[in-house]
Every structure is written in structure tokens, then in C-alpha cells.
Amino acid sequence: MGLKKTHQNTIFLILFTAFGALLASCGKSGASGELVGAGAKNFKSNEVPYGMVYIPGGSFIMGQTDQDVLFGQAAQNKEVTVSPFFMDETEITNSEYRQFVNWVRDSTLIALMTGAEQAKFLVVDKSVTKAGNNNPVTPPSTTQPAPGAGIQTGNNNPVPPPSTTQPAPGAGIQKGIAPPLPRPIDWRKVGVNGANLWKSGLKGDVFKNAKKSITHTELGDPKLDDRKFTYGYTIFDAEKAAAERDQRGKNNIQNADRTKQVFKDTVGVYPDTLVWKAHLFKRSHNEPMIYGYFSHPAYNNYPVVGISWRQARAFSVWRGKVNDSYRAAKKLPKRMPYSLPTEAEFEYAARGGRVGTTYPWGGPYPRNAKGCLMANFKPARGRFADDGATFTVNVKSYFPNDFGLFNMAGNVAEWTNDAYNVSAYNITNTLNPVINNAGEKRKVVRGGSWNDNGYFLQNSVRNYEMELEQTAYIGFRCVTPYIGRDIKDK
Ligand SMILES: [Ca+2]
């Protein structure tokens, strides 16, 4: 008995020593056998994304605070609660949207290039480098077309021969999809706004041919063909997944096929610059706006227009993915996805934390006590310039509201995420209400524009436009959720 007991003690002692050693060497690594959680990285949750402001969560009365002059009853009062989020302090500008267009333009061009010319702009192929270290002769690769292969045929024929790994340029583009790249693009090599791609005098045939397939000469000088610039994306469709889950019931939740619960879209990204002369402006001499508004540096900080709801959504997804890839490279945790604000988020943010007010600046009138107009809209009966502007203005014009948001009323009206439903307030949840309905092509537009009268500037007034419609008076801004309870929490 005594011997056995000693033996047990020895084992205990050995175990204890081992345990102690683990604790000493690994600290809080989780190897202690205790439940310590898997969160190895600290997430700095008080970081405010560039160009955005923090909107604290809260409850508010959504809906009409003034007379319902149209008797539409589309905005009945309802108390709703919104979680904290970040919102762009201004409308998305021409300059910001051009970053998206340039990104798509440069990706398309690089995807249309081949071989070594293309490889200049891609991340380094580590498999090739490693093999090269051991062996001075680089082995032939199936994923990497031999340098020069495309160039030789390219001299005679602008369309390189079909290849199993590299689809012929043009084939995918016509369908709106650029050929897949063998490796991701290294944007540091491309330079700001594609400087290294466009300005370094790339004279090779691979570049010339790629450029040719996204250029048209219908107007004499070669011009980039904006029809070729499309952005395709795939995102997880939580709405669909949750609906399927509810249908399946609790017995079969584990077997959900997540690969089918995705949402895909491909959109041409270029704004419709003809909006300045279409629809309402048919007989206006607005040609200077057509030629200059989106592309001239004078309008850099003016709100982008001519953007459909579908384009605005694609921009938001792209913005999130660009940030994701930066953060992945820096080994930082991702942000939540960017999106258009829900209708409730927009109204909550527009109110700036004030209760029962008519306009974002709090007052009951579109003018302040000095008689100055507080926003860019159409005062009186079409005296566009009374507020100091004929069309749009710089996105930082006028005073921001109490959350620090500019032009939540006026300048350009803004797309929200929500599908329009006249009875929305009767059917939505009171917690973070939203109407996602892909079948409903009418999307809610908020805030009123330079082309609207003062009624549409009110915090509660709802309007809608078809999701593919592009106009000279609708723009947008993005939001991204704040992760946590409140930004002031430690
Ligand atoms: Ca606005």
C-alpha cells in the first residue's frame, strides 16, 4: 500500500512540474488546460474608419413629425432602435467613386495582359521563386503562361490564342467578366490611380493589345470604352440563408449548403454622365456637366451622380473588399462589411440625436434665424440659385448636423439599402428595421436633393426610385456597423 501511495505521489509531482513548466513557458497561450478563449488578437474597437463618423445606437420615433401633406401615410410614427454604426460624413464624391472606376479599369487591363508583362503587377509567385532557388532553370508551370508566348502571337493577332489557364481577352469581358488572374494584383506595383500601369510608357504589345480591347475609336481619338468596365462580386446572402433555415425547421440546420446561399451581381461601374440632359433636363444646355462633372478635377469633391442603386451597392461591396485585403496583409481583424444605410439608419442619423425635429439642423424651417438657407435644394418655385448653387455643391457645404454629418438633407438625395414598401412601418422589426426584398425594384431614397423642394428635405419624408435608374440628383453614402456596445467602452 505504502509503496503504491509513494508511486502515486511521484506521478502527481511529475504532472505538477510539467503543468508548472507549461504555465511558465506559455503564459496565457491557452495550453494551461483552462478555458481561456480563442481570441489571440486584440481588436481595437474604437478606431473610426477614415472619412466616417461614429453614430451611437439609440431609440427614436421614426416617421412624420409634421403634416403629412400628401396624405400618403407612408411614414407613420414608430419607435425603433438602431445599433451603433459608422457613417460617411459626406456623400460619396466624384473623386472617391473614380477610385472604384480606376480600380476596375486597371484590374480589367491587367487581366487582359499575359505573361511577364502581366506578372509585373501581380503578387510574387512563391512556388516559382522557391523552385528557382533550387534549380536555375524554372520548371514549366501550368498556371503561369510562358513569358512571351502571348506577345509572339499578339503581333499578328490582337486576340491571343485560347488557353486552358488564361481565357482569351474579350471573351469574358463581353459577358461582363474579366478573365481570371493567375494570382492577385499587387496594388503597390500598380501605383496610385494606376500610375505605373498607364504612365510608365508600357510600350509592349501585350499592354497595347490589352488596351486596344478596352478602347473604342468611334469618335476619332481612341477613348476607353466604359462599357467594358464591369465589377462582379459574390457575397454571403444572410437573408436567404435565414429564410431557408426557418423553412427547414430545427431538424436540418446543419445540412445547409452555404455555397448556394450566396448573392452574385455584375454591374457596369461607370456613372451615366448623360443624366444631365435626360429626363427632366431634356431641353437644357447642360453639356458642360456631361463632359466635366464626373471627370474634371474641379468637381472632385462634389457628390457623384448618375449612379444606380445596383452600382451603389457594388461600390459598397468593393470598398469593404479593398479594406479587407489591406487588413489581411497587415494581419489585422476585418471590419464589418460596408453597405448602404438602412432607411432607419438614415433617418436616425439625419436627426442628429434631436427629438421631434423636422430638418437635420433641428429647426422647423429650411432657413435659419438670419434667413440663410441651410441646405442645397430648390427654394420657392424653381429659383435654383437662391441657395447659392445651381446644381450640386461641394459635399462639405453648409453646417453639419449634431452627429457631424453633412448634407443629410439636400445636395443629392441618397439611396438607402431598403426596398420601398408603403406599409414598411407596420411590418418591420422595431430593432434595426430593414426591408430587403430583391423582387421589389423600388428602393428608398432619402434626404431630398438640389432638384427637390423643401418638403423632401424633411427627416421623415420617404421617396423611392427604381434600382437601375440613374439621375443627376441621387447619390449615396455608406455605413459599416460598429462592433460592440459603445465606442466609449474600454
Ligand atoms: Ca444629401
Q: Per residue in 302-317, pLDDT tens?
A: 999 999 999 999 999 9
Taking all residues of the chain, what is their mean pLDDT, rounded to a whole number?
81
Q: Which of 88, 89, 50, 98 is nearest to 306 (CA)?
A: 98
Give the DSSP letter of residue 476. -
Q: What are the CB-based long-range contacts (under 8 Å, 24+) for 172-177?
A: 172/111, 173/108, 173/112, 173/213, 173/214, 173/228, 173/230, 176/230, 176/232, 176/266, 176/268, 177/230, 177/232, 177/266
Q: Pick from 350, 341, 279: which is nearest to 312 by CA?
A: 341
Tell me how far the alpha carbon of residue 91 lies from the centroid of ligand 1, in angstroms: 6
Alpha carbon 372 to its chain centroid, in Å, reads: 35
CA of 75 to the centre of ligand 1 (A): 19
pLDDT of residue 29: 53
pLDDT score recorded for residue 25? 45
Give the tens place of pLDDT for each residue, 393-429: 999 999 999 999 999 999 999 999 999 998 898 888 9
Closest CA to 445 of 417, 475, 415, 423: 415
Whole-angstrom distance, CA of residue 184 vs CA of residue 106: 13
93 neighbors 301 (Cβ within 8 angstroms): yes
Mean pLDDT, residues 24-50: 70
CA 175 / ligand 1 centre spacing (Å): 34
How far from the centroid of its chain's Cα atoms is residue 68's Cα? 34
Cα(450) to ligand 1 centroid in Å equals 9
Which range has highest mean pLDDT (30-39, 165-174, 233-242)? Answer: 233-242
Number of alpha helices (DSSP H) and beta strands (DSSP E) in the chain: 14, 13
- CA of residue 479 to ligand 1 center, whole Å: 14
Pinpoint the alpha helices (H) of 330-466: 343-351, 424-427
Report how far apart, in Å, the C-alpha atoms of 253 and of each of 243, 247, 256, 292, 380 are.
12, 10, 6, 54, 58
Q: How far apart are alpha carbons 5 and 161 in whole angstroms?
A: 81
Written as nine digits, the cell of 181 is 488572374
Other beta carbons less than 10 A from residue 102's beta carbon: 18
Query: What spacing in Å lies between the alpha carbon of 466 and ligand 1's midpoint?
Result: 18
- The set of cell numbers assigned to 269 is 461601374
- pLDDT confidence of residue 151: 31
26 C-alpha to center of ligand 1: Å?
A: 54
CA of 474 to the centre of ligand 1 (A): 8
Is residue 190 within 8 A of residue 99, CB to CB? The reply is no
- CA of residue 471 to ligand 1 center, whole Å: 14
Confidence class of residue 323 from pLDDT cuts 50, 70 and 90?
A: very high
Give the Cβ contact number of residue 307 at 10 Å.
27
**Within 13 A of 163's CA, how many CA atoms are on the CB side?**
23
Residue 160 clears pLDDT 70, i.e. is over it: no
Give strand ranges (E) for 423-466. Answer: 442-446, 462-466
Separation of CA 48 and ligand 1 centre (Å): 21
pTM (two decimals) = 0.81
- Over its C-alpha atoms, the chain yields an Rg (Å, rounded) of 28
- What was the pLDDT predicted at 65? 65
Whether residue 369 has pLDDT greater than 60: yes
Domains and CATH numbers, the chain: 47-93+270-490 (3.90.1580.10), 96-268 (no CATH)
Q: Which residues lie below 8 Å from residue 96, measured CB to CB, with a gap of 6+?
A: 304
Beta strand pairing status for 215-216 and 223-224? antiparallel
Give me the pLDDT at residue 69, please: 59
What pLDDT does 317 receive?
96
Distance 90 CA to ligand 1 centre (A): 8
C-alpha 76 – ligand 1 centre gap (Å): 22
Q: Which of 90, 18, 83, 33 is nearest to 412 (CA)?
A: 90
Alpha carbon of 445 to ligand 1 centroid (Å): 10
Separation between Cα atoms, residue 68 and residue 74, nearest integer Å:
9
User: Position of cell 437644357?
Assistant: 284
CB 377 within 8 A of CB 450: yes
User: Per the structure block, which three cell numbers stand in for 354?
Assistant: 434631436
d(CA 254, CA 265) in angstroms, rounded, equals: 27
Task: Determine the 3-state secondary structure of 414 from DSSP.
Answer: strand
Q: Is residue 82 scored above 60 in pLDDT?
A: yes
Least confident piece of the model among 31-40, 248-257, 413-422: 248-257
